[in-house]
């Protein structure tokens, strides 16, 4: 099946710093990637949808200037949490759509746990 | 009312039992139905993918979709402790594939 990787898997940073999370599709080209965040014992919350070469579409309530998304290639999307604060601590998960696969759906990365001190 | 309803559980069953997990939905426009399994502190893993109504079987897993009742199910036969995880249903309306998620059901298989 389609494989999606994320890096880093775990990051701790000080309040006010910026953190970049990478999402890569390893064995397919992903025209569309998605970024989610998940709080403990809750379901996934879609933050934004990014299409290669164009600006990301953010969900209502998600600050686009705080969560910068870049989808510069068909295999790489990045999420940068700018000026992170403790309330940004969460589990961030990306997914990528494999339109050429047998099952045209989203495949998820392993997630990145962000802790802001 | 949420578009997709799923009982968060936890659901605890003995090893070897048949597990039934369910979701209901309100929007008849959903055409694609998926079940994902998520272990603690991991990303979701696609288990089953179904288009429109009907059944689909893959090993110990069977997915059912009843569009007339707006009800989907995932059955797990011969459940194992390794099946203990949170199971999320997800649905999509069209080829944009923005997924609408259920809350996830935490499943515990007791040895």
* pLDDT band of A43, cuts 50, 70, 90: confident
Distance from CA of A66 to the nearest CA of B (A): 22
C-alpha distance from B111 to closest chain A C-alpha (Å): 23
Per-residue pLDDT of B66-104, as tens digits, reads 999 999 999 999 999 999 999 999 999 875 668 899 999
A111 close contact with B: CB closer than 8 A: yes
Short-list A98, A95, A82, CA closest to A33: A95
Task: Write down the residue that tokens 């290639």 correspond to.
Answer: A73
Would the pLDDT of A21 be above 70? yes
Chain B residue nearest residue A3, CA to CA: B45
Per-residue pLDDT, B96: 64
Neighbours of B9 (CB within 10 A): 15
A97·B97 Cβ contact <8 A? yes
Q: Is the dihedral of CA B35, B40, B44, B48 positive or negative?
A: negative
Residue A1 has pLDDT above 70, yes or no: no
Q: Does A11 touch chain B (CB under 8 A)?
A: no
CA–CA gap between residue B48 and residue A107 (Å, rounded): 12
Q: What percent of chain B has pLDDT over 70?
A: 97
CB contact under 8 Å between B97 and A32, yes or no, is yes
User: Which of chain B's residues have a Cβ under 8 Å away from the Cβ of A109?
Assistant: 43
């Amino acid at each position: 099946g389609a494989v999606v990787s994320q890096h880093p898997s775990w990051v701790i940073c000080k309040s006010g710093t910026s953190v970049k999370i990478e999402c890569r599709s390893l064995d397919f080209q992903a025209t569309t990637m998605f970024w989610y965040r998940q709080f403990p014992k809750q379901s996934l919350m879609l933050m934004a949808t990014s299409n290669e070469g164009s600006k990301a579409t953010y969900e209502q309530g998600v600050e686009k200037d705080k969560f910068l998304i870049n989808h510069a290639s068909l295999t790489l999307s990045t999420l940068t949490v700018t000026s992170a604060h403790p309330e940004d601590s969460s589990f961030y998960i990306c997914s990528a759509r494999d339109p050429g696969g047998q099952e045209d759906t989203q495949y998820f990365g392993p997630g990145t746990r962000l802790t802001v001190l | 009312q949420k578009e997709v309803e799923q009982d968060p559980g936890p659901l605890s069953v003995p090893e070897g039992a048949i597990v039934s997990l369910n979701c209901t939905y309100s929007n008849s426009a959903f055409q694609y139905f998926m079940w994902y399994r998520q272990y603690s502190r991991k990303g979701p893993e696609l288990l089953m993918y179904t288009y429109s109504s009907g059944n689909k079987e893959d090993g110990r897993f069977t997915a059912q979709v009843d569009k007339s009742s707006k009800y989907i199910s995932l059955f797990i036969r011969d459940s194992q402790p390794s099946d203990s995880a949170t199971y999320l249903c997800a649905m999509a309306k069209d080829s944009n594939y923005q997924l609408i998620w259920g809350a996830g059901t935490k499943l515990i298989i007791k040895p």
